[in-house]
Chain A
């Protein structure tokens, strides 16, 4: 079983819709979590950090459920520019290494 699992998609969503991804992690010692976005043939860029139950930044909301060991990312009022691959990442406290999921591909359709 992978340490961080994501549905690879693709998710094809009409512009303006709300879309949600889930990500599960297997290491219960994981303390902090991140969502990165990666555009085609570009480097991953940090989108959000999640340390407690959740985090909100504009149209983006991340939620953490420690009991069930999953993190979700919600995108409201989706824009064409949201088309990308979204990487879920977990980190164990004090560990310099991050554990990346393989990503969920999102395409926003006009």
Chain B
């Protein structure tokens, strides 16, 4: 069965510091991978998605970036955090090539507080 891991679970970082969040998936090959952010009391905002190694699509302009160095690894980074980067960061995966639906499965999330 497939599992998705994210770490760390919680993070408190000062404004201007760098960020690196990691997500890995087990039990599947060549998944689609996604990064979302959920601000307190708000809906899910898609930040990045990837359909393959080195292929990153950015959904919103911001000071975040994503990379996919390996098939089942997805990394979210920032060089300098802003207060507005605080939120609940969720990684998700879906199967590819189903040709019909892209059900997504979420990791446990990282709760980031920028102070």
Contact = CB atoms under 8 A, between A and B. Distances in A.
A49 B44 contact: no
Interface in A63-102: 87, 91, 93-98, 100-102
Given A43-B90, A96-B51, A102-B43, A91 B101 contact: yes
B49 interface: yes
A84 to B, nearest CB: 14
Interface of B: 32, 42-44, 46, 49, 51, 88, 90, 94, 96, 99-109, 111
Contact of A96 (B32, B44, B108, B111): B32
A46 B105 contact: yes
B109 A42 contact: yes
Interface of A: 31-32, 34, 41-46, 49, 51, 87, 91, 93-98, 100-103
Contacts of B108: 42-43
B100 A31 contact: yes
A93 B51 contact: no
Nearest to B111: A41
Contacts of A98: 102, 104
B101 to A, nearest CB: 4
